[in-house]
């Protein structure tokens, strides 16, 4: 049989709120601490370090940039931040006040694309600080996570019950979801071009195939509140169950596997493939959890041996 080990590593106090996580170009895990206003860094096997922003800035999602630095949203400060692997930090103000940026990802055009949850816009930020904003075709959509796909970006529209696509020319198309009030949050694009997304209210994982067909997979625990999602090299989607205290995986044919976390009510949020090939998730209890690669375990049928 096969199994995976799950381990937790303390990286901050319980009130700091590790939230999103990514693997940086330096082979370290970088993560946001939304409550304490910090960016953390952990090389597996070493001690964590942190970099302070304004305590009330609300650093939220963090992503690799096209320039070898890490870029992150500041949800409460309404800014975009940049931090180099050496710890040098820069902040960029946004044109729309109180826009509450949340998701961020590098685009195929060498710019950073981000969502403005409170302004119903998708933003584009060049590495030299130039910002362009694209209004969504509806209001109250609450655009959330965003991910790159070839020549476009995909994003979730949490309150519009849809996922959206924006081309590099700024043209936006909206794709409604089959389940009403599903409230999509996380989004990731697999190696086959399939778009995976979490439906936090419906308790489902959704996938839009390259041919445009949308399939929704109900989770065994419909109250699990799936939040963030990423994909591995095999195309398997991995997601956090914020309300279920688990990390789950789902294959393209809909097979779901769940991995319980050791600490009760740890509130897993962001998830990424780590530099060691394992899956890592940020826990609001002040830790990072590691879901190790599959290992083979040999079991012996003692009853058969005794009878022989």
What's the pLDDT at 4?
83
- pLDDT in the model for residue 300: 35
In 3-state terms the chain splits into helix, strand, coil percentages (rounded to 5) of 0, 50, 50
Cβ–Cβ contacts within 10 Å for residue 8, how many?
A: 17
> Any idea how long the chain is?
308
Q: Residues annotated in the binding site for Mg(2+), as ranges? A: 267, 284
What pLDDT sits at residue 3? 65
Q: Which domains does the chain have, with CATH numbers?
A: 2-307 (2.130.10.10)
What is the per-residue burial (b if ≥16 Cβ within 10 Å, else e) of 31-55? bbbbbbbbbbbbeeeeebebbebee
Q: Is the dihedral of CA 108, 127, 276, 20 positive or negative?
A: negative
Q: Say how far apart CA 270 and CA 60 lie, in whole Å.
A: 10
Give catalytic residue positions: 269
pLDDT tens for each residue of the chain, 308 residues long? 346 899 999 999 989 999 999 999 999 999 999 999 999 999 999 999 999 999 999 999 999 999 999 999 999 999 999 999 999 999 999 999 999 999 999 999 999 999 999 999 999 999 999 999 999 999 999 999 999 999 999 999 999 999 999 999 999 999 999 999 999 999 999 999 999 999 999 999 999 999 999 999 999 999 999 999 999 999 999 999 999 999 999 998 899 999 999 999 999 999 999 999 999 999 999 999 999 986 543 333 333 333 32
CA dist., res. 215 & res. 196, Å (int): 10
Indicate the SS3 state at residue 225: coil
Cα distance between residue 135 and residue 305, in whole Å: 69
């Amino acid at each position: 049989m096969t199994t995976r080990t799950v381990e937790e590593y303390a990286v901050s106090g319980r009130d700091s709120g590790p939230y999103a996580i990514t693997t940086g170009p330096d082979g370290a895990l970088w993560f946001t601490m939304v409550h304490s206003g910090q960016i953390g860094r952990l090389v597996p096997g070493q001690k964590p370090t942190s970099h302070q922003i304004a305590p009330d800035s609300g650093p939220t999602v963090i992503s690799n940039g096209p320039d070898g630095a890490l870029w992150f949203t500041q949800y409460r400060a309404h800014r975009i931040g940049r931090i180099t692997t050496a710890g040098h930090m820069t902040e960029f103000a946004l044109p729309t006040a109180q826009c509450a940026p949340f998701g961020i990802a590098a685009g195929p055009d060498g710019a950073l694309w981000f969502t403005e949850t409170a302004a119903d816009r998708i933003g584009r930020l060049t590495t030299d600080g130039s910002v362009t904003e694209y209004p969504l075709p509806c209001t109250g959509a609450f655009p959330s996570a965003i991910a790159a796909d070839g020549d476009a970006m995909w994003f979730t529209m949490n309150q519009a019950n849809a996922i959206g696509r924006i081309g590099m020319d700024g043209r936006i198309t909206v794709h409604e979801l089959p389940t009403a009030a599903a409230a999509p949050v996380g989004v990731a694009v697999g190696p086959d071009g399939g778009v995976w997304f979490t439906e936090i209210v419906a308790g489902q994982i959704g996938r839009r195939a390259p041919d445009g067909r949308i399939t929704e997979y109900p989770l065994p625990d419909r109250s699990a509140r799936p939040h963030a999602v990423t994909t591995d090299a095999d195309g398997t989607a991995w997601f956090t169950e914020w309300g279920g205290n688990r990390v789950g995986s789902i294959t393209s044919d809909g097979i779901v596997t769940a991995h319980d976390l050791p600490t009760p009510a740890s509130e897993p949020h962001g998830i990424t493939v780590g530099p060691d090939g394992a899956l890592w998730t940020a826990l609001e209890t002040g830790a990072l959890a590691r879901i190790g690669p599959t290992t083979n375990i040999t079991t012996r049928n003692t009853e058969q041996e005794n009878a022989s």
